[in-house]
């Protein structure tokens, strides 16, 4: 059932309220848009708190960003070009949500993509959440930075800025934003605990098959090999080690970092490890010893 323009205005107000209530935006952060029939866009106006909007505040533009209607003095969001690039490349997308959720934006600031095969549901629904290069907000740099990713991803981080979610309707886009932030929260906790088990490449393959079973329409398949640098991603790159006999694989990247001297070294040259990291090292050594003695 298609929603009327009046209903879509109410939906944008509700999604803005949820973004603000969950702390995904502060001050005037974030913006929301939905496609309207007749090649038009219904969008949040610039410079308002997204937590306290009313339906009549929304503006309507054409698909080149020209203002068609709105209350006197209202202008479209300063990030309209970023929204438009998503709609241009993705006819299946009918809504775009941009926010600055603190945990996922923390990953975007640290330059750490959410691209590891850690949670089955995230692999199935979003694949990976890459980071688009930094572009100055509200300038054409930002749409240029997201352009390579929106073709193949429904969720991405914006370096040193925030997150972007695309959906077939407004609530689908909003729920993807919730998933991005939830995934960032869980990833942060696992890393603070000092270890991460990854889903094996083979399990990722099984999860990808579930997309068909659940009717999840994804813009691109999951792939586990790194694409050549500098080329638009043609698939959703997920970090998942091959391990035909196992579904979960303890990530040994941390152990490799120890060997490379990448682990933080404190004053006096002592190595500082969390309890979890130390446990991982010991368990890995025991596993190697056991494998050698039973071989």
What is the contact surface with ligand 13P in residues (CB under 6 A)?
Answer: 28-31, 44, 46-47, 77-79, 137
**CB closer to ligand 13P out of 139 and 290:** 139
**CB of 82 or CB of 204, closer to ligand 13P:** 82
The span from the CA of 236 to the CA of 219, in Å, is 9
C-alpha span between 34 and 97 (Å, rounded): 9
Q: What's the N-to-C CA distance of the chain in angstroms?
A: 62
- Best CA proximity match to 165, nearest among 31, 50, 39: 31
What's the closest the beta carbon of residue 138 comes to ligand 13P, in angstroms? Answer: 6
CB 28, CB 47: distance < 8 Å: yes
Q: Least distance in Å: CB of 154 to ligand 13P?
A: 19
Helices (H) and strands (E) in the chain, counts: 9, 12
CB 80, min distance to ligand 13P, A: 8
Least separation in angstroms between residue 166's CB and ligand 13P is: 16
Neighbouring residues of 34: CB distance < 8 A, sequence distance ≥ 6: 8, 11, 12, 41, 42, 43, 94, 95, 169, 170
How far is Cα 126 from Cα 47, in angstroms, rounded to an integer? 30
Q: How far is the CB of 151 from ligand 13P (least distance, A)?
A: 21
Report how far residue 24's alpha carbon sits from residue 281's, in angstroms, rounded to the nearest whole number: 36
- Cβ closest to ligand 13P, residue 7 vs residue 136: 136
Rounded to the nearest whole angstrom, what is the least distance from the CB of residue 32 to ligand 13P in the complex?
9
Nearer of residues 28 and 243 to ligand 13P, judged by Cβ: 28
Q: Identify which of residues 161 and 195 has a Cβ nearer to ligand 13P in the complex.
A: 161
Q: Which is nearer to ligand 13P, 166 or 240 (CB)?
A: 166
Q: How many CB atoms lie within 10 A of CB 282?
A: 10
Least separation in angstroms between CB 94 and ligand 13P: 19
Q: For the CB of residue 130, give the shortest distance to ligand 13P in the complex, in Å.
A: 19
Element (H, E) at 98: strand 95-99
Query: CA 49 → CA 29, 38, 67, 148, 258, distances in Å?
Result: 7, 28, 20, 30, 46
CA distances from 274 to 110, 121, 252, 277, 281 (A): 20, 28, 15, 5, 11
If the CB atoms of residues 28 and 252 are measured against ligand 13P, the closer one turns out to be: 28
Nearer to ligand 13P, 13 or 118 (CB): 13
């Amino acid at each position: 059932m298609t929603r009327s323009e009046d209903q879509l205005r109410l939906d944008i107000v509700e999604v803005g309220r949820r973004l603000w209530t969950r702390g995904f935006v502060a001050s005037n952060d974030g913006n929301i848009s939905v496609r309207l029939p007749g090649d038009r866009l219904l969008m949040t106006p610039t410079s308002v708190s997204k937590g306290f909007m009313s339906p009549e505040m929304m503006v309507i533009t054409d698909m080149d960003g020209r203002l068609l209607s709105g209350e006197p003095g209202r202008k479209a969001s300063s990030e309209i070009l970023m929204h438009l690039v998503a709609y241009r490349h993705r006819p299946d997308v009918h809504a775009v949500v941009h926010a600055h959720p603190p945990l996922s934006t923390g990953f975007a600031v640290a330059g750490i993509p959410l691209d590891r095969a850690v949670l089955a549901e995230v692999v199935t629904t979003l694949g990976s959440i890459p980071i688009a290069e930094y572009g100055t907000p509200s300038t054409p740099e930002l749409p240029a930075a997201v352009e390579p990713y929106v073709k193949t991803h429904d969720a991405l981080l914006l370096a040193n800025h925030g997150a972007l979610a695309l959906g077939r309707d407004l609530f689908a886009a909003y729920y993807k934003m919730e998933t991005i932030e939830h995934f960032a929260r869980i990833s942060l906790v696992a890393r603070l605990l000092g270890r991460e088990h990854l889903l094996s490449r083979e399990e990722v393959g099984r999860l990808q098959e579930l997309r068909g079973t659940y009717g999840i329409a994804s813009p691109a398949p999951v792939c586990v090999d790194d694409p050549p640098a500098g080329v638009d991603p043609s698939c959703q790159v997920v970090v998942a080690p091959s391990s035909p006999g196992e579904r979960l694989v303890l990530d040994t990247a941390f152990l490799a970092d120890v060997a490379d001297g990448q682990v933080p070294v404190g004053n006096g040259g002592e190595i500082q490890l969390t309890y979890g990291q130390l446990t991982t090292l010991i368990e890995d050594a025991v596993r190697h010893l056991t494998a050698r003695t039973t071989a």
